[in-house]
Every structure is written in C-alpha cells, then in structure tokens.
Amino acid sequence: MKRLSIFSCLLLIAFAANAQETNKLIVDANQGKVVINKNIYGHFAEHLGRCIYDGIWVGKDSKIPNTDGYRTDIVNALKDMKIPVLRWPGGCFADTYHWQDGIGPLNKRAKMMNYHWGGVVENNTFGTHEFLNLCEMLGCEPYISANVGSGSVVEMTQWIEYMNSDKDVPMANLRRQNGREKPWNVKYLGVGNESWGCGGNMTPDYYVNLLRNYSEMAGIYGQWKLKQIGCGANSDDYNWTDVVMKERPGSISGLSLHYYTIAGSGWGNKSAATGFEKKYYFSGLEKALKMNELVEKHSAIMDKYDPKKQVGLMVDEWGIWTDVEPGTEKGFLFQQNSIRDALIASLTLDIFNNHADRVKMANIAQTINVLQSVILTQGNKMVLTPTYYVFKMYAVHQDAKLLPSQLIAEDYEFDGRKIPALSSSVSEDQNGNIHVSVTNLNPDKEIVLSVELVGKSFEQVKSASVLTAPEYNSYNGFDAPEVVKPVDFKNFKKINSSSLQITVPSKALVVLEMK
C-alpha cells in the first residue's frame, strides 16, 4: 500500500477538523519546484483612448514633466512597481497597424484612422522606437503583437529584422538611419490578436494554417530566438485551443487566452466603476473566479498535446470591464478603479501563481487610463489605483518558487449565491523568505486564518502590509488620491515555529514575509 506523505496526512487531519477550524492554509514548504514566472505580472498598452497619448507619452514639448516625451511620474511609478513585460500596440489596434507608418521623423509619419477605438486620427508619433526605448527605460521586456489581420508575412518579417538584426541588411540599415545602431533583441512576438474576432474573424482551422506560415517565417528571420505566442481562445472556446494545440505549428512557445470580468449581467449591462451596489461587488468577484476554471480546462487540453508543458498559457488580456466614466468618450474605455477591482486582481494573480506550471505570462488590460488601469491621469495629476498597489505588493512572488498549499475557507454568501471568502498563494524567494498573500473577499467581516508550514520553521514575520478600504466601492480620485493604499499590518500572531494566525480585515489583501 502506498504510504501517505506528511503533507497528505496533515491535509486529511485538517479536513476532518474543518468543523472546528473553518479557515486554514496548509503550506508544503519543502516542495517548491515550479518557479512563478515574473511575466505573470505583465501589462498591456494599446493605442486606445488615453493609454498612450496623454498617458505614457506627452511629447517633449509638454508642460507636464517628461523624459524625452515620456511622463516622468508614470515611468517612475512603473519602475517602482517592477513591471516585467509590456505588450504593444494592441489589441484590436494591432491588426490595423502598419509599423512603417510609425518610424522616422515625427513630422513626416503617416496618419491613420483608429477605427476600433473612437474613430480618432492616429498621428503615429509613438511608434517602434518610442515603445522599445520605453521598455529599456523601464527595464522590462517588450511583447510585440504582429499584424496578421490586415498585414502580411513580409511586413512582419521586415519588422523583426528592423528590431532584431545586427547585419548589413535593408531593415537593420533603415533602423540605423533612424538613429538606432544596436538592435533591441525583442523576445516576445504575438502572431495575431483575437483572430477569432477583431483580428480577422477567422475559424481556428483557418488561423492555424496562417500561424504555421507566419511562425515559420518569424523563426527564420528571428534566428529562432523569438518566443512566438499564437492567438488562443476567447474565454471558454475550448475547441479553439484544441485545434491549435493539436496542430501545434511552427515554433510557438505560448498560446494566448483572453477573459474579461463583466460584473453586470452582460456586455450591454455592465457595472459602473464607482458607486455600484453590493450585488455588483459580489458578481465581479464571482465572475473573476471563473478564471480558475478557464485556466484548468485550457491547461488540460494543452496537457493532452503537450505533456511536457513546453507551450506556456499566456493570459495576455484580462481584467474587469465596467461602464466608462460619465462624460467620457465611450470608445476610450476610461474607467475608475476601486477596492473591488484590486481584489479581482489579487485573486486572479493567486490563480496564475497556483498554475505557474502552465501559466507563463499574463497582461492586465490596460496600463494607463483604459479598463483596469494601474495608473490614471488628468492633466498634470496622476493617481495610483488600488490595482497598482496589488501589483506592487505581489512583486515579491516574481521568479519565486511556488510552494504547494491547500486553502480551507468559509464561504462568502450573497443573495443565495456563494463563493470562497478567501484566496491565497505562497512562494519562497531566493533568500529562503516565504511570502504569503491572502485576500478576504467578504466586505462585511474580518476572518481569522491559521497558517501551517509543513517541513519548515520560521523565526519571525519580517514584514507585513495590508490593502483595504473604508467601503466596498472606495477608490482613489484625483482630489483624494490616497483613500486606498497599503499600510503596515500587525494583526497576526506566531503560534509556534511553524504556525501563524492572521486576522484578515474585510475586503482586504494581506502580504506577509516570513523569515
């Protein structure tokens, strides 16, 4: 008979004692094998609304403090958040974007219509050089989305050559002519975006043949160094994943997944970003938790064709999508950001962390002034949103070893529906420090959680912080920018050398470092 491990025995004991102790986190502290890829904490910047212009890019002549045209306060904030990877230029915009319109002298760049987002004229003053130089300033990896919907293989391969070649070849020489001697050595290339929708309205069978062609050519021109990411499914379209993974064409190393949380009853009836009722608080969290089901089911299909997990699941668009702020252009998707959105971010990041064997990148939509932004701007004012602070607090998990854990939690019930009240993930950094992140989704009560380390002891809780808010719909406004921000957390108690008790406030995220 197979003997149970100590961890398994403790789990059985914990389940048996569940009636006496409802909330318990058991951590197998000696079994950390999978590394949480830092790119799970990635971001997405599209030419949409005020994400790029009047967001990241204000131009060198702006009265707003800037560094070579980039808003200085935004650059500093993104550095402080430790942004690892940034996806650009879209989104739907990517499949109408022709990169050569965005190079050369600013005053000579061709204009284009942004058909998808507000019907505005795009002047292309933010192009390849501006984006890739920004990534260098931030110390993050660029992730380029190639135009498959209205572009061509030639256009894509010329772009690769322009960005990555150090040879005496036409596109590399054009880059040198435009003032950049060294190649940027871009690593991540998306082969199309939402090809099932705005990127071409394709069937998976049609797309997979295009992917085979584009991927082969990208590999040649990229000298096989590019990590190519194929267009994956929209939400629960499992057939799309099955078709693409069955063929697994070219040299793709990732497959995307897009899922947005709609807190209302549907796309035509979305929640407001502020002032919403508790039912929209609950439904936002409930629908965000669907990400776990999506990741598990798409991963199971990928496992069938890729048991060694060589192809990563890249959730390169995710986040909550609410109604736009009153008085703003609907096509600009400008929305505020509340503590609800922060908790959606923390529980989603927990899901990605806990599936780090398959999830290798994720990109929240979007970085500045669009959808679930980490930063909002208004003239020379800048606001760090509650979601920003989640990413900053969770930076401790980047490139750390995931520690397997089992969370036993009470339910949060509302209007006859229920969800787990707690979410968590645990990791160990290179210095042996253990980081525990715990989210209490219940807006009405604090929860006492017992944490048990199996196979390892700790001396002390080295540091701890908490993010919470006065109300379940509190947010940071331009006139009150610090309503929701992290503060030091003290409401924990060491029980013995391997156990800890945490009292997690309502609607709150706590991150502790155990040494």
Active-site amino acid positions: 194, 317
**Is the separation of the CB atoms in 379 and 335 below 8 Å?**
no
Q: Are strands 312-320 and 252-261 parallel, antiparallel or unpaired?
A: parallel
**Is the separation of the CB atoms in 156 and 146 below 8 Å?**
yes
Sign of the C-alpha dihedral computed for residues 146, 152, 156 and 159 taken in this order = negative
* Whole-angstrom distance, CA of residue 239 vs CA of residue 501: 44
* Whole-angstrom distance, CA of residue 376 vs CA of residue 387: 11
Which residue is it, tokens 């990109």? Answer: 363
Sequence-separated (6 or more) residues with CB below 8 Å from residue 509: 342, 343, 346, 390, 393, 437, 438, 439, 440, 466, 467, 468
Which residue is it, tokens 């064997």? Answer: 357
**Nearest Cα to 46, choosing from 378, 379, 385, 367?**
367
Sequence-separated (6 or more) residues with CB below 8 Å from residue 496: none
**Nearest Cα to 34, choosing from 474, 397, 458?**
397
Q: Which helix (H) or strand (E) holds 318?
A: strand 312-320
**Nearest Cα to 106, choosing from 127, 132, 134?**
127
**Is the separation of the CB atoms in 315 and 229 below 8 Å?**
no
* Whole-angstrom distance, CA of residue 4 vs CA of residue 12: 10
